[in-house]
């Protein structure tokens, strides 16, 4: 059941843009150079900081640009439940 739920969330996240000015990059061979060039959080750093900031674990990360702003769309497992969230790719968990 959890795998089916995860699959449904992944398909929703990958297939539906949030707005017309939005684009997401699912292929990390394309996303990685953008992360370096734009000075964005790496997935490793994002995952590390997410452990304490959201008290859950990231299941899927997608790099997106919305109106010129880079962000990560996440599927996060918190206490066994899957949740979708969006964070700024430069400062995902401000203190």
Q: Return all residues near 86 (Cβ < 8 A) that are at least 6 apart.
A: 64, 71, 72, 73, 74
* Residues of the domain holding 83: 2-88
Is residue 27 a part of any domain in this protein? yes
Residue pLDDT, tens place only, 54-66: 888 899 999 999 9
8 Å CB contact between 68 and 23: no
CA distances from 83 to 20, 36, 78 (A): 23, 27, 7
Is residue 26 a part of any domain in this protein? yes
Q: Return all residues near 9 (Cβ < 8 A) that are at least 6 apart.
A: 60, 75, 82, 84
Beta strands per DSSP E along 1-56: 22-25
Residue-level pLDDT at 78? 86
Residue-level pLDDT at 59? 94
Residue pLDDT, tens place only, 12-56: 555 555 445 789 998 999 999 999 999 999 999 999 888 888 888
Domain count, the chain: 1
Residue-level pLDDT at 19? 47
């Amino acid at each position: 059941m959890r795998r089916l739920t995860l699959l449904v969330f992944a398909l929703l996240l990958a297939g539906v843009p949030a707005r017309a000015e939005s684009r997401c990059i699912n292929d990390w061979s394309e996303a990685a150079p953008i992360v370096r060039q734009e000075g964005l959080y790496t997935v490793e750093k994002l995952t590390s900081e997410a452990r304490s900031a959201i008290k859950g674990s990231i299941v899927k990360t997608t790099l997106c640009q919305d109106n010129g702003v880079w962000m990560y769309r996440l599927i996060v497992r918190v206490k066994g439940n899957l949740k979708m969230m969006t964070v700024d790719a430069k400062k995902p968990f401000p203190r």
